[in-house]
A and B are shown apart, each in its own frame.
Chain A
Amino acid sequence: GQNIDQPTEMTATEGAIVQINCTYQTSGFNGLFWYQQHAGEAPTFLSYNVLDGLEEKGRFSSFLSRSKGYSYLLLKELQMKDSASYLCAVRGEDSNYQLIWGAGTKLIIKP
């Protein structure tokens, strides 16, 4: 079967760094996306990885290891507005259209 695992909830402190992990088992691999979703709002695209390594975009970075079926999203200099759910989604090989979504990690930022 196809499966994506993320922690359900994480808590971090304003100004700190947090790493949100995502592991996947899918039929093939054609890229991994990270999305941010604030409560009651639409998911917004954060990053895309298809090759191994780290992609950095400002305060957010995303890492991929295809051999381990593993990715993480690293958030630095946390701000209160970073409190949201973070969704990992994989495009498998079976279909070029569909994303296989993780259940999301709810990140709570405390002052």
Chain B
Amino acid sequence: DTEVTQTPKHLVMGMTNKKSLKCEQHMGHRAMYWYKQKAKKPPELMFVYSYEKLSINESVPSRFSPECPNSSLLNLHLHALQPEDSALYLCASSQEAGGNQPQHFGDGTRLSIL
């Protein structure tokens, strides 16, 4: 079990659907991250929130829209996704963004786009 909780664990959606991925942590961490991971590849950073403000947006297409309602929650809103967006989406958190703080990952949401 991880201390970063992600829901749902699996999601299958069509290209016209709208869905949201959710992430929650109660470790008092002030930095939260979204990563995308394809099979046999390392995680690719998508977004970083530091103190509930978006710090980094790694040129991610606008069909992915992050939201940080409070310091414990992070959402990723999905709309009009493409088949190549099928991947494991990982949420992570750390005490601060940077320094020697390790990132703690959730178990991920496995997303399949039909």
Contact = CB atoms under 8 A, between A and B. Distances in A.
Interface of A: 30-31, 33, 40-45, 48, 50, 87, 89, 91, 95-99, 101-104, 106
Interface stretch (B63-71, B73-81, B93-101): B93-101
A95 B56 contact: yes
Contact of B2 (A42, A96, A97, A98): A42
B107 A41 contact: yes
A99 B45 contact: yes
Interface in B69-113: 88, 90, 97-100, 102-108, 110
B107 A42 contact: yes
Given A50-B100, A97-B56, A98-B56, A44 B105 contact: yes
A30 B97 CA distance: 13
A45 B104 contact: yes
Interface in B40-55: 40-43, 45, 48, 50, 55
Contact of B98 (A45, A96, A102): A96
Contacts of B31: 97
A104 to B, nearest CB: 6
Contacts of B40: 103-104, 106
A45 B103 contact: yes
Nearest to A88: B42
Nearest to A104: B42
